[in-house]
Structure 1
Amino acid sequence: MRLATYNIEWMNNLFDDHGALLPDGARSARHGVTRAEQIQAVTTVFQALDADAVMIIEGPDDGRHRNTVTALETFAAHAGVRARRAVLGFSNDTQQEIALLYDPDVMSVRHDPQAHADAPRFDTRFAIDLDVDATQDEVVFSKPPLELAVETASGHHLRLIGAHLKSKAPHGAKTRDEVMRVSIANRRKQLAQAIWLRARITAHLEAGDALMLMGDLNDGPGLDAYEDLFGRSSVEIILGTGGQALFDPHARQALQRRLGAAPTTARFWIKPEQRFLQALLDYIMVSPDLAARAPRWRIWHPLDDPDCWAQPALRDALVTASDHFPVSLDIDL
């Protein structure tokens, strides 16, 4: 079975209000890319993935005038892929939803939000002292994680959590002091979200659940200058330690090689510096019981993966489709 996570940059812009695709010459949110070009590129990537399930990050909007499930199932029919049924959890107001496309012939999936003493439901608020002033702060998710109960056709039960943690970019800051203040505040909030998410993970592991945490964590070891101020990245918090640690080989490699080369899943153009920045942002973390099944991870990076590089149509599609690349996991379930 193959499961994947894929952040598709502003996928919402590829659909009209009725969930129909817009394969025209108008510009998509991708710089220098039309909607038709991005739709074709995403289609090519999905067909190459041939996944049983794809956790979609930045999925099309859901609200009064738009429907995420309709849009994604329309896309799946257009692409002709097996992962043709969509499920959405709590919608948000960012126009970037977290949803799953899956093959109903190989698994059944339902939205199943949880609540525990140390981790309330992700669409509520989490109380935590963020700055050690003995005062409880309330944290919310701008994009509540998607919690799914999955049963495979062979009878295996597992939990999937799709996550897209808030970016730490200091939007709106103008002076150096403002940049520092906003960056520290954003990192503090992101770490609080990671603690909240980790509490939910711990509850599942204590209950004996097989678990996958999938998505864009917008963070990684050594990614910004404020990490040392708090001691750990949110990735390290979510992974955990000891017998309840999740496993992702790319995260482990990055943690062990802070000064060396590390895998990357995203590629952004930095205009002031006239160069690309590559970063490890997308993960599939698994519980110890799933790690024991010898799963195989793959980053579909067009420049780093030899098979992607050897297929010009796929290589170009990966670059055109999004500023992130899919991460897949093959596992016997």
Structure 2
Amino acid sequence: MATLRIATYNIEWMNNLFVKGEAKIRTKPGKGMGRFPINPHGVAERIAGVITGLDAHIIGVQEGPSSLDQMQFFADEFLSGRYKASGIESGSQSIYALVRDDCPVKATPYDSSSVYYKRLGKPVRFQPWGEVNRAKKYSMARFPALLRLARSDDKEPIHVVVAHTKSQFTKGFTKAKFEAREPEAMREAILARQKLSADVAAIRRHITNVILERQNASGTIVMGDLNDGFTRNVFETEFLLQSLVDELRGSFRRQSALLDHVLDEAQLRNKNAFTVEFRSAEKRGVTRELIDHILVTPALLDSDFWLQLKPGEARIEHEISKAHTSGTGAKADDRPSDHIPVVADFVVK
């Protein structure tokens, strides 16, 4: 029996390492939103070091470059040409799937003409908090990368979703405004969270639909940056807007489409169960959150299924990230990313 290793990695503002519109790494920093390291090539090598250390067959990349050509260029130049990139371009933080040439299962990407992308791209109408009959129309901020995994007989395929939901950070949301619960600032923060909830709802519907249709999903794997950290406790206790990752998990009425974490309860409760560190308006000091996840439906936990999660083998790769970080990693050039990757191993039967 073979082992399939899957990883998810948010590569902080990877687009800014590239010459705009070209499959070429910058030789000097650019300007704009996000981080622009002095030595883009050096940061690209740090990223490649982490990815090589992960030794994963399939990697879900978030905050990838704006073009697929740029993502493939990185794979060819820095990862020995062993990975094939796929995904739908959606701006400066696009989402991609990298599949290595020795992947033990057949991994087929979906293109933009797929009915799945048409469904995911359908705008959602919702009522902003505190409003009536003033619905906003919202479209998914970043299209997921979708893969179909299959064994040689093509039976019981698995549907993979690589996602990066909308950020819930709000411009001008200061600590003072937060502590005072300044009405306009709070409305903007809640609106951002509603848009994030719309992203999650779209992904949740998608998972349920592909499971129920059976054609392309006897099981699903969802991975990526599922933003649900900043001010989460306040939203849940004061405004009764509950955890979005919990929303994504699914309904008990669709047992086959429920999602479980690849990390077990002991790992999820561990002090090192975080993938980002940042300073927020919510509290003093550094906030640590687990917002990068790999989630699976029940089929992937079944000992009789052809692809089964290895219990206890999933992990947050702190050590690999540290190995390619200089000092505290506070400077843009000193770190591969501001996120830590998560990996999971599966038995291929």
TM-score range, shorter chain: 0.7 to 0.9
Q: 1:139 to 1:54 in 2, by over 3 A?
A: same
Give the C-alpha shift of residue 317 in structure 1.
9.7
Between the aligned partners of 1:86 and 1:317, the Cα distance in structure 2 is 31
Query: Could you say what secondary structure the match of 2:232 adopts?
Result: coil
Q: 1:316 to 1:240 in 2, by over 3 A?
A: farther
- Quick check: 1:14–1:39 contact (8 Å CA) kept in 2? yes
Between the aligned partners of 1:86 and 1:183, the Cα distance in structure 2 is 35
Give the C-alpha shift of residue 178 in structure 1.
2.5
Measured against aligned partners, the alpha-carbon deviations of 1:182-240 in whole angstroms (never above 9, x if no partner) come to 11111122112212211111112223421111110111597341133234211001112
**1:74-113 mapped onto 2 (5 Å cutoff):** 74-81=73-80, 83-89=82-88, 91-93=89-91, 95-106=92-103, 107-111=106-110
For residue 3 of structure 1, the aligned residue among 2, 6, 10 is 6
For residue 265 of structure 1, the aligned residue among 263, 275, 287 is 275
2:189 is equivalent to residue 183 of structure 1: yes
TM-score calculated relative to the size of structure 1: 0.80
Residue identity opposite 1:213 in structure 2: V
Structure 1 match to 2:46? 41
Give the C-alpha shift of residue 84 in structure 1.
1.4
Q: Equivalent pairs: percent with the same residue?
A: 25
Give the C-alpha shift of residue 70 in structure 1.
1.8
2:261 is equivalent to residue 248 of structure 1: yes
2:231 is equivalent to residue 218 of structure 1: no
2:233 is equivalent to residue 239 of structure 1: no
Between the aligned partners of 2:93 and 2:61, the Cα distance in structure 1 is 10
Query: Could you say what secondary structure the match of 2:209 adopts?
Result: helix
- Quick check: 2:230–2:282 contact (8 Å CA) kept in 1? no
- Quick check: 1:27–1:34 contact (8 Å CA) kept in 2? no
Between the aligned partners of 1:272 and 1:224, the Cα distance in structure 2 is 9
Between the aligned partners of 2:281 and 2:241, the Cα distance in structure 1 is 30
Give the C-alpha shift of residue 58 in structure 1.
0.4
- Quick check: 2:160–2:221 contact (8 Å CA) kept in 1? yes
For residue 56 of structure 1, the aligned residue among 55, 61, 78 is 61
Give the C-alpha shift of residue 314 in structure 1.
4.0
Q: Which runs of 5+ in 1 are unaligned?
A: 62-67, 303-307
2:345 is equivalent to residue 330 of structure 1: yes
Q: Which runs of 5+ in 2 are unaligned?
A: 303-307, 330-334
2:318 is equivalent to residue 301 of structure 1: yes
TM-score calculated relative to the size of structure 2: 0.77
Measured against aligned partners, the alpha-carbon deviations of 1:47-104 in whole angstroms (never above 9, x if no partner) come to 101211111100001xxxxxx2221222122223575111122x224x1100111124
**1:116-127 mapped onto 2 (5 Å cutoff):** 121-127=119-125
Aligned pair count reads: 312
- Quick check: 1:253–1:262 contact (8 Å CA) kept in 2? no
Structure 2 match to 1:168? 168
**1:279-298 mapped onto 2 (5 Å cutoff):** 279-292=289-302, 293-295=308-310, 296-298=313-315
Give the C-alpha shift of residue 241 in structure 1.
4.1
Give the C-alpha shift of residue 105 in structure 1.
4.2
Query: Could you say what secondary structure the match of 1:225 adopts?
Result: helix
Query: Could you say what secondary structure the match of 1:187 adopts?
Result: helix
Cα RMSD (Å) of the superposition? 3.4
Which one has more relative contact order, counting CA pairs under 8 Å at least 6 apart? 2
Structure 1 match to 2:16? 13
Q: 1:275 to 1:40 in 2, by over 3 A?
A: farther
